[in-house]
Amino acid sequence: MKFGIFMAPFHWKGENPTLSLERDLEIIQWLDQLGYDEAWIGEHHSAGWEIIASPEVFIATAAERTRNIKLGTGVISLPYHHPMMVANRMVLLDHLTRGRVMLVWVPARS
């Protein structure tokens, strides 16, 4: 059996976004240490409590702090991105994470 988590981009309204993101990264570090298999990071665009607008940037940071856990986009909304640029970023992340990145995209806005 494998274990994973979906890191919804929801955070407490009014909380310092920098501290919220740091807490999310610490959670993923703990999950890696506990032996979780994967973590999925969602993309949402709003001010306030949904503060992860770029799962790829978040994944790159999380990858530097972890060694084993696979990190996935949950999801990339293609209407906001050129598909070729998404592909280029994911190929780069695949190399930087040594194969620990996973891609999920949707054709509609999330």
Q: Is 105 in a helix, a strand, or coil? A: strand
Expressed as residue numbers, the domain containing 9 is: 4-79+89-106
Q: Is 27 contained in some domain?
A: yes
Q: Is 8 contained in some domain?
A: yes
pLDDT of residue 14: 85
Q: Please, what is the average pLDDT of the chain? A: 92
* E strands, 18-69, in order: 38-41
Higher pLDDT, 19 or 13: 19
Q: Is 9 in a helix, a strand, or coil? A: coil
Structure tokens given for 26: 């610490």
Q: Is 13 contained in some domain?
A: yes
Q: Is 84 contained in some domain?
A: no
Tally of structural domains, the chain: 1
Best CA proximity match to 47, nearest among 9, 6, 104, 7: 9
The DSSP bridge partners found for residue 50 are: 10
pLDDT at 109 over 70: no
Q: Is 26 contained in some domain?
A: yes
pLDDT at 37 over 90: yes
